[in-house]
Structures are given as C-alpha cells and as structure tokens.
A and B are shown apart, each in its own frame.
Chain A
Amino acid sequence: EPEVTQTPSHQVTQMGQEVILRCVPISNHLYFYWYRQILGQKVEFLVSFYNNEISEKSEIFDDQFSVERPDGSNFTLKIRSTKLEDSAMYFCASSDLSPGKETQYFGPGTRLLVL
C-alpha cells in the first residue's frame, strides 16, 4: 500500500539554525499538508499546498516557515531560523480530493528538537 514517507525521523538543531524537513507524498496525490504536534498537545494545521502554491496557512506559519515542491516527488518544510518553541513533531500529509477520496494520509513524522 502506498505511504507517505518523511526524513529525517529525528532532528536536533541549535536555536537560530535553518532546518529542512522532507516528505515524499503518495505519488498520485495532488494536495499536500504540514501539521505539527507539540509534545502532549493537539495536532495543529500549518499549511496546505496545491498546484505549486500555498492554498491556506495558519497563523503559526509565519515568515520563518516556507514550503516547496522542488521536484515531482518531494515536498519540503523549511524553518529559516529555529526557535525553542518550534520543537515539535512535524507531520506531512497528502490527499487526493476526488469524490470519496478526501482522506489525508500522514507520514510517520519528524521529531524536531531545538536547543
């Protein structure tokens, strides 16, 4: 069964450093998403992406964040200058919005720790 993959599984970085989280969505999906989950808290929407542009972003997704689909398979989340409060699990998801197929499939996540 096709699945969403994410790399790395864990990332430790120093405050102020840039990080890039990578995702490979399911191959025939057209919509891509990033969510995050701070430890012990709810899963929060960050951004959705379709047709090479951002469809919607939350207030969390400020100028320090960017997303990109650099080729036909990868979908990346960049945090330009990490802060302590960016420490979280980051989940990528993808979906195909054909009728009856709107389910989002999640990757296993990248645990980011900012020191």
Chain B
Amino acid sequence: GNSVTQMEGPVTLSEEAFLTINCTYTATGYPSLFWYVQYPGEGLQLLLKATKADDKGSNKGFEATYRKETTSFHLEKGSVQVSDSAVYFCALTLFSGGYNKLIFGAGTRLAVHP
C-alpha cells in the first residue's frame, strides 16, 4: 500500500543549527510529495511541495528534493530559528479518479532552543 515514514522526534536543536528531517515513501505510481507544518495550536500549513522526480521544493529557507531512486523527500534547513519550532508532516498524494487524498507520515516535532 501507499505510506509515508518519517524519523521519530522530538528533534531538539540549538538556534542556527542545521536541520534534517528524514522522510521516505512507498507508493504505487508517481506521487506528489509535500511537507506541511503545524505550529502550536494551529492547523496545517503547506510548507513546500514537489510533483516529480528531481524537483526541489523550497520555502522560508526550507528545502526538499524528490528522490525517486531512494524514494525519499528529506526536509532540510541550513540555520533554524526558535520560530521554526513546530510539528512537520511529510505527505504524498496519488492522483486517482480526479481526487487526491493526502497520506501523512506520523509527524516530527522540532524544538529549537536559543
């Protein structure tokens, strides 16, 4: 079946540290891949996306590259800030019949300390 696996958290970093959150997927077909972020007490916000192999999604200093050969979509940021503290969800969709449910990973909590 289709699924997303993320590294378990929490991830605790000091401000300005380098961030990597691993995400791998299993999918039949060619999924689109997403990272969503959930700040404390808020809903899900799209952070970035990539729709085909070798695409790089980027936003707010975060980036992730769609790697078909390793079925991965790891999230990276060169220098994290305290305001990046949140839960990060990796997700995929497969277009089927004109609708596209999102399949989420379990989420990775990031805590950034000053």
User: In terms of DSSP, what is the predominant structure of the interface of chain A?
Assistant: strand
Closest residue on chain A to residue B104 by CB atoms: A43
Question: How many interface residues does A have (CB within 8 Å)?
Answer: 26
Q: What's the nearest-Cβ distance from chain B to residue A50, in Å?
A: 6
Q: What's the nearest-Cβ distance from chain A to residue B38, in Å?
A: 9
Query: Contact at B99–A43, with CB atoms within 8 Å?
Result: no
Given contacts A91-B43, A105-B46, A106-B43, contact A97 B99 (CB under 8 A): yes
Residues in A neighbouring B107, C-beta threshold 8 A: 42-43
Q: What's the nearest-Cβ distance from chain A to residue B62, in Å?
A: 16
- Binary flags per residue of A13-50, CB closer than 8 Å to B gives 1, else 0: 00000000000000000010101000001111100101
Query: Contact at A48–B101, with CB atoms within 8 Å?
Result: yes
Residues in A neighbouring B97, C-beta threshold 8 A: 55-56
Query: Contact at A102–B106, with CB atoms within 8 Å?
Result: no
Query: Contact at A43–B34, with CB atoms within 8 Å?
Result: no
Residues in B neighbouring A33, C-beta threshold 8 A: 101-102
Residues in A neighbouring B32, C-beta threshold 8 A: 102
Given contacts A41-B106, A42-B106, contact A109 B99 (CB under 8 A): no
- Binary flags per residue of B67-108, CB closer than 8 Å to A gives 1, else 0: 000000000000000000000010101011111111111110
Query: Contact at B95–A43, with CB atoms within 8 Å?
Result: no
- B45 on the interface (CB 8 Å rule)? yes
In Å, the complex CA distance between A107 and B36 comes to 13
- A103 on the interface (CB 8 Å rule)? yes
- Binary flags per residue of B49-62, CB closer than 8 Å to A gives 1, else 0: 10100000000000
Query: Contact at B99–A106, with CB atoms within 8 Å?
Result: no
Q: What's the nearest-Cβ distance from chain A to residue B24, in Å?
A: 15
Q: What's the nearest-Cβ distance from chain A to residue B51, in Å?
A: 8
Q: What are 21 A-B interface contacts by the 8 Å CB criterion? A: A35-B102, A41-B106, A43-B107, A48-B99, A48-B100, A48-B101, A55-B97, A91-B44, A97-B95, A97-B99, A97-B100, A100-B51, A102-B32, A102-B100, A104-B100, A104-B102, A106-B43, A106-B44, A106-B45, A108-B43, A109-B43
